[in-house]
Amino acid sequence: MKESMAQLLAVQQLDRKLMRFRREIRDIPARKEALDQEKASAEERLNDIEQRQRQNAAEQGNLESEIESLREQIKRYKRQQLDVKTNDEYRALTHEISAVEQKISQLEDREIELMETAERLNAEHREARERLDDEEDRIGAEKEALDRRLEEVQRDLDEVSARREEKAAKVDKRTLAHYKRIFDNRGDYAVVPIENGVCTGCHMKVTPQTVHDAQAAQKLVACNYCGRLLYVPADHRTS
């Protein structure tokens, strides 16, 4: 039984490795997904700036045509002034012209604001473009590293699986089935040492009889609380 305990511990060591490998393999797609997400938000920042640039250009275009039509208006008023009969009519048109000129001047101020905004947006766009390029490089490299890591872990998994099967073949079938049930159930360890009278799987104090039986190692001894198989490590043995 001492021997089969040592074999179980060897199997468990390999099962723990396999568990870590499987977990890593399982998590890689999510890590790649998170990287894609980072790239998408860098793209979104750039798209957002481009959207504001388009709005700005559209508003500038509208202002220009509005200013253009106001200038036409002034020309019409000036032509009318040539035909008026009275000074009052002439003055009224002069008044209209200066109102339109004032309006033009307001629109031109707004146009200057928009041009300044456009310059700022251009600078923001350059910066966001550079940042996106950097992000794309970094993310591409990280995804490639994850792909390489996946291949590596897959290889390790295959290799350790084969070693595990070799070790497991030395354990009798019922003992192995018992071990496997506990390992799958507990998800961490099926075989644990007793230290200072305590099961290190569940940290409960076991009975002196359990300690004695585990130390004698004539049969498999399970913890009364968590069901894990128990052994007494060499440096904890009392004789």
Residue closer to Zn ion by CB (options 114, 226) is 226
Q: In the complex, what is the shortest distance from the CB of residue 16 to Zn ion, in angstroms, rounded to a whole number?
A: 17
Residues in contact with Zn ion, counted by CB under 5 A, come to a total of 6
CB 18 within 8 A of CB 160: yes
Strands 191-195, 229-231: pairing is: parallel
First-last CA distance in the chain: 18
**Partner residues linked to 222 by β-bridges:** 229
User: Which residue's structure tokens are 């923001």?
Assistant: 124
- Angle, helices 2-83 vs 87-168, to 10°: value is 170
Site string for Zn ion, 209-238 (x = CB under 5 A): --------------x-xx------------
Q: Does 3 bind Zn ion (CB under 5 A)?
A: no
- Give, as ranges, the residues between 145 and 204 that touch Zn ion (CB under 5 A): 199, 201-202
Residue closer to Zn ion by CB (options 120, 225) is 225
Residue closer to Zn ion by CB (options 162, 225) is 225
Residue closer to Zn ion by CB (options 75, 225) is 225
Residue 122: C-alpha distances to residues 40, 42, 115, 126 (Å): 21, 16, 10, 6
Q: Which residues bind Zn ion (CB under 5 A)?
A: 199, 201-202, 223, 225-226
